[in-house]
Chains A and B, each alone.
Chain A
Amino acid sequence: MTGAGGFLGSAIAKAAANEGHEVLSMHRPTSPLSYADDIAGIIPVPGDLRQDGDWRDHLARAESVIHCAAAASGDLATQLGGTVLATENLLTALPDTLARFVHISSFSVYDFGAPPLMGPLDERTPLERRPLRRDTYTQTKLMQEEMVRAHCRAKVIPLVVIRPGAIYGPGKDWDFGRALRVGPFDLIFAPLSRMRLIHVDDCARAIVAALSAPFDDESIVNIVGSNPPTHWGFHRRGRQGGAPLGWPVPVPYALLRLLGGAAWLTSKTFFNGRAQLPELLDPPRIQARWRPLRYANTRARSSLGWDEGISVANAVTEMLLPRSGT
């Protein structure tokens, strides 16, 4: 697997090893696998997919691949290198005899304007048709997924594309639903919209299950919690659990769209439509992040035999444990 030093990658490596797999865990040299010594079956493979290296020899031994490596942030060049170039290098080094390629994509590739308001977003939802209006992460994840699908089709490698929602857990709390902090107040955008949360360990179990579950040659599975909280509800749980959060101030989705529309009009009028709008005022990104939708995980349950094991309440308690202990 690639990206084994990351937040999700380390959880996948542990889960796969616990399932009895021997995990060739590729990680960047500056992100050593602190957990490798404690878990049998994890073999660290230091390397960087942006460059040739010994990792190619290890890859030749792999029976299946979980591709989790990507640049989740940074400028366009950083994300092109860490996501697109890295994936191209990985694909050119793949053994043709691979039993399965499990690709970790993202919910961000979807067109969030496609489902009706409050409607379901699932694997049948169309992908973003105009990526250039979205952020760099979406653009590069779309390119990455397209490259993987094209390669696996050409080489007849069975492919499972996993699209996780917003992965959370200890160390990643999505600011408990807060969009912006203003002094003692937390602005909660679209307070009644559901967050597409999935706990990192639940997500990792689903991905490991995808290694051996019966699938067609190319399958897509969304991984998201069954009853994710609203932004308001997640913030409330965080406050109740003792997270250092401010007083919540709701900003309805309709008001967000109104502000976004005003910003767009200003851009059109004064900047020929080229103004660089902050995410909070950019209509396509407002829609992608806060539009009220329902998220389905029916296919994950049926095809992977997977179910959510960690409730949001327990997860929040776990996430705040270090604070409670001090």
Chain B
Amino acid sequence: MSQGALRPLRAAVIGCGAIAYEHLPFIVGSGAALPVALCDRSHAMAAAAAAHFEIDVALYTDAQSMLAAERPELVHILSPPQTHDSLVRLALAAGSHVVCEKPMTGSAAETEELLAAAQVAGRVLVESRNLLFNDPVLKLLGLIGSGRLGEVRECEILLTLDFLGGPMGDRNLAGPGVVLPGGAVQDFLPHLVYLLQALTGVGSADTVVGEYSNRSGNLRAQFDFCDVLLRCGKVRGRLRVATDVEPSAFRVIVRGSDASVETDLYNPFLRFEGAPSVGKRYPLGQMLAGFSLAGAGLTNLRNKIGRHGTMHGLPRMLAAVYAAIREDRVPPITPAEMLATARLTDQIVALGKPA
């Protein structure tokens, strides 16, 4: 590897809202990136982010001006989804690689077009899928890869989160909370879809049935509920998003022909259930289950204090993307994977019935 390849990439951020506060620690502190500019339609929001991370970079309210003046090698596009298409195109045209927050677009057709534009420009375009790099998901993938579950047959993913309590459902604001065909649910749906695809190895679904609706009556969210069943050959999947139940959870269950495993990405634990402990082994099995739960509780406490939260996979993902660009390797999230996720998301969103 040449010395030039190890040089940090000049990085800029477009969109200085909440998710920028997850990307910037990596950009500022990893050594792989050199922050050169922050851009937001609100100068105050850009200034607030610069102050928060104590970085002295140029601040812009116009993306085109920023790209022309700073010529960043990599741009993080962290603005609302409806702005992604034009911003990704601008960044690619300026010669920048792009990391775009999910959902990158509102449909597979738009995703396909952007990926084609990136290919023409000869630049890397990656849609964020940080949860694939979280500890529990890595453990699940390890268990599946080692064959301990046998053949994966089922995957259930449940996200319960009161997202109507935030800007997406804030009735003080006019217009839709998220400008996407699938409304607020689609803002989260890519996480569930790419996790299902990664954990089952299945890219597309033969059938998708279920409910995709608005249950709260809050029209700002457009859609706030999703409960769908997918069948992909021998594999069954169930994906759910709900706002009206507590507690907040991101539960993932994978069931295989030999064993099953369950975890939660908000309050991580890992419950592996293989052949049942029976007879003389019964008390031992119960004790081990108890120790496992107590251990998960202690780990969660340590994680909470140590700020090792649900976004802890993001810097790992960014490190992998930056390394791929710097070393001219295939990025960890490929165009084919992004397109498969967008297509399956389209199938689910198509079930939508507005309130």
Instruction: Please report A residues at the B interface, Cβ cutoff 8 Å.
Output: 28-30, 48, 50-51, 53, 75-78, 80-81, 84-85, 87-88, 131-132, 139-140, 143, 147, 271, 274-277
Q: How large is the interface on B (under 10, 10 to 19, 20 to 34, 35 or more residues)?
A: 20 to 34
A276 contact from B42, B52, B305, Cβ within 8 A? B305
In Å, the complex CA distance between A132 and B173 comes to 29
B306 contact from A76, A84, A140, A271, Cβ within 8 A? A271
Whole-angstrom distance between the Cβ of B159 and the nearest chain A Cβ: 18
Whole-angstrom distance between the Cβ of B259 and the nearest chain A Cβ: 35
Closest residue to B43 on the A side, CB-wise? A88
Q: A76-B21, A276-B304 are in contact. Are A87 and B44 (CB under 8 A)?
A: yes
Closest residue to A266 on the B side, CB-wise? B305
In the complex, the answer to whether A84 meets B17 with C-beta atoms within 8 Å is: no
Check B295 for interface membership: any CB of A closer than 8 A.
no
Whole-angstrom distance between the Cβ of A133 and the nearest chain B Cβ: 12
- Top 5 A-B residue pairs of the complex, sorted by shortest distance between their CB atoms: A77-B18, A88-B44, A28-B172, A48-B172, A275-B305
Instruction: Please report B residues at the A interface, Cβ cutoff 8 Å.
Output: 17-18, 21, 42-45, 47-48, 51-52, 54, 166-167, 171-174, 304-307
Whole-angstrom distance between the Cβ of B58 and the nearest chain A Cβ: 18
Q: A88-B43, A132-B52 are in contact. Are A81 and B167 (CB under 8 A)?
A: yes
In Å, the complex CA distance between A77 and B22 comes to 12
In the complex, the answer to whether A30 meets B172 with C-beta atoms within 8 Å is: yes
Closest residue to A272 on the B side, CB-wise? B306
In the complex, the answer to whether B18 meets A84 with C-beta atoms within 8 Å is: no
Q: A76-B21, A84-B45 are in contact. Are A50 and B173 (CB under 8 A)?
A: yes
A53 contact from B21, B171, B174, Cβ within 8 A? B174
Whole-angstrom distance between the Cβ of A208 and the nearest chain B Cβ: 26
Whole-angstrom distance between the Cβ of A318 and the nearest chain B Cβ: 30
Q: A85-B42, A271-B306, A274-B306 are in contact. Are A51 and B173 (CB under 8 A)?
A: yes
In Å, the complex CA distance between A88 and B18 comes to 17
In the complex, the answer to whether B307 meets A276 with C-beta atoms within 8 Å is: yes
Please name all residues of chain A whose beta carbon is closer than 8 Å to the beta carbon of B21 when the two chains form the complex: 76-77
In Å, the complex CA distance between A53 and B43 comes to 20
Q: A274-B307, A275-B306 are in contact. Are A51 and B44 (CB under 8 A)?
A: no
Please name all residues of chain B whose beta carbon is closer than 8 Å to the beta carbon of A81 when the two chains form the complex: 167
Please name all residues of chain B whose beta carbon is closer than 8 Å to the beta carbon of A48 when the two chains form the complex: 172-173
Closest residue to A132 on the B side, CB-wise? B52
In the complex, the answer to whether B45 meets A30 with C-beta atoms within 8 Å is: no
Whole-angstrom distance between the Cβ of A123 and the nearest chain B Cβ: 24
In the complex, the answer to whether A85 meets B172 with C-beta atoms within 8 Å is: no
Besides the contacts A80-B17, A132-B52, A147-B44, what 20 more A-B pairs have beta carbons closer than 8 Å?
Answer: A29-B171, A48-B172, A48-B173, A51-B174, A53-B174, A75-B18, A76-B21, A77-B21, A77-B166, A80-B48, A81-B167, A84-B44, A84-B45, A88-B44, A131-B51, A139-B52, A140-B48, A143-B47, A143-B48, A271-B306
